[in-house]
Amino acid sequence: MTTSVSIERVSIPLHEPLVITGHSFSHLNTVWVTLERDGVIARGEGTGSYYLGETQDSIVAAIESITPALQSGLSREELQQLLPPGGARNAVDCALWDLECKAAGQTIWERLGLSPRELTTVATIGVGDAQAMAAHASQWSTYPHLKIKLSAESPVEKMRAIRDARPDATLVVDANQAWSFAELQEYLPALMDLDIAMIEQPLARGGDAELEGFESPIPLGADESCLSLAECEDAAAKYDVINIKLDKCGGLTEALAMVEAAQRANKRLMVGNMTGSSLSMAPSFVVGQQCEFVDIDGPLLLQYDIDHGLRYTPEGRVSPPTPELWG
C-alpha cells in the first residue's frame, strides 16, 4: 500500500499588511501537503511560527525528510516521534487525519464522536495609531468579538479609542510579548475600566516568571509561552488561558492532548491561528469546539481562500468544514 506525497509552497497576499509587535505580514506563506492512497486524496496545511525561525523552506525540508516513511504508510502515532512540534508536523498530521476520515468513509465528527457546533470568531485588528485602529474596529461593526494587537506604544490610548468606537464588543488584547511586568501592572487598571476580556501574551516567552503567583484582575493568556503539550504544566502556573495553535504544537493530534491537559488544570481555552487558509482553520475548528475564545479569522485576512473554504457570516459565525475541504 503506497502513499503518494505532494508538497506545495503557497503564497497568498493579505488584503492589507497585518502589523504586530516586531513583525509585519503582507502574505500568507504556507505549505500544503497532499496524500493519496488507494484513490483517497487528503490534505493538510502548515505555516509554522515565524518567531521560531520556521520558513516555507524549513517546513518543506522537514516533510521531505520523512517522505519515504509517508510513502510506506507512516501512521499519525509514528509521526509524533519522527518530527518535532511545528509547521511541518502540523501539515502532515492534519493530512493524515483527513486521510483516515476519508478512507473510513467518516467525517471528523464521526471519527471523534462529536456533534459540531457553530463557532464565533474574533476579527483581528493590527497595530497602528489610535485613530486608524478605532476606524478598523468600526469596519468590523457586525463582529461581536475583536482581538486587538498592541505594542508598548500608547496601548491604553489605543484601547480607549477602540472602546469608544465599539462599546458593544468583547475585546481581547494581544501584546505579542511587548510589555514588561511593570508595564502590565501599570496598564491593568485602565484596561479593567475598558472591560477587556483577556490579555494574551503580555510578557516575553522565557521572561514571564513574575506571573507565577500573580493574581491579575484580567485573565492572562499564554500563546508564545505555551508552544506544545510539554509546556502546558509550566504555562498553567502562570496563565489563566491556554492558546492552542496547531502550527505551534504540530497538528491536531497534539492539540487534542493539550485540550485535555489544560482542562485537567482547570484552565480556560483559546484556539488561534498563524494567518492560514481555510485548510488550516478546518482542523482548528475541531479544537475550537472546546474553547471559550476562538480566533480562526485567517481566511478573512486573505485576498482569496482555498476552494470549499469555511463559511463566515457577517456576524463572525463560522460553520463546520465540509468534507470537500477537510475531514
pLDDT along the chain (327 residues), means of 10: 95 93 91 97 97 96 98 97 98 98 98 97 97 97 98 97 98 97 98 98 97 97 97 98 98 98 98 96 98 98 98 98 98
Residue of 95, 93, 96 lying closest to 83 (CA atoms): 93
Residue 36 neighbours by CB under 8 Å, 6+ apart: 3, 4, 6, 42
C-alpha cell of residue 140: 468590523
pLDDT confidence of residue 21: 84
Looking at residue 285, its amino acid is: F
**Catalytic residue set:** 149, 245
pTM score, whole prediction: 0.97
Q: Which domains does the chain have, with CATH numbers?
A: 4-106 (3.30.390.10), 119-318 (3.20.20.120)
pLDDT confidence of residue 159: 98
pLDDT confidence of residue 19: 86
DSSP 240: S
Neighbours of 247 (CB within 10 A): 31
Sheet of 268-271: strand order equals: 123-125, 145-149, 170-174, 196-200, 220-222, 241-244, 268-271, 293-294
Residue of 150, 163, 128 lying closest to 16 (CA atoms): 128
Residue of 14, 54, 29 lying closest to 250 (CA atoms): 54
pLDDT confidence of residue 22: 83
SS3 state at 58? helix
Please state whether beta strands 119-120 and 317-318 pair in parallel, antiparallel, or not at all (unpaired): antiparallel
